[in-house]
Amino acid sequence: MPRPRRSDHFHVYVVLLADQVWNEPAYRKCNPDKDLLKPCLYVGMTGLDPDLRFDRHMAGVQANRFVLKYGVRLLPELYEAYNPMPYAAAQEMEVELAIALREAGYGVWQA
């Protein structure tokens, strides 16, 4: 396996959100085709380790409001295969992953 370059330190990550996020009108509006049997998620990208970024969300540091209020845990099985990567690739992958998960029936917030 090739060794990552210094610039390849960006990550996409997925956070499981508590079901109560579904009561938020903005979240519901962005997910009209959500399968009610699938969980609600947040998809983001970071230059930090995803575990550290999640901790920062939960501490209210540059936190997404849905993650701060409803964040449960990371779901590495949905993102680990993509990391690490360069900044531009992470930006693109964040959008692509959110779209793919939404198409699979998940509720997704991606900011």
Output the pTM of the full model.
0.93
Query: Which H helix or E strand runs over 97?
Result: helix 87-103
Using an 8 Å Cβ cutoff, are 75 and 7 in contact?
Answer: no
| 3-class DSSP state of 43 | strand
**Residue-wise pLDDT tens digits, 5-48:** 566 899 999 999 999 999 999 999 999 999 999 999 999 999 99
- Domain ranges in the chain are 11-110
**pLDDT attached to residue 4:** 52
Q: What is the pLDDT of residues 92-104, one digit of tens each?
A: 999 999 999 999 9
What does the pLDDT look like over 37-62, one tens digit per residue?
999 999 999 999 999 999 999 999 99
Length of the chain: 111
Q: Which two three-digit tokens encode residue 18?
A: 């508590």
Beta sheet of 107-110, edge-to-edge order: 71-74, 11-17, 40-46, 107-110
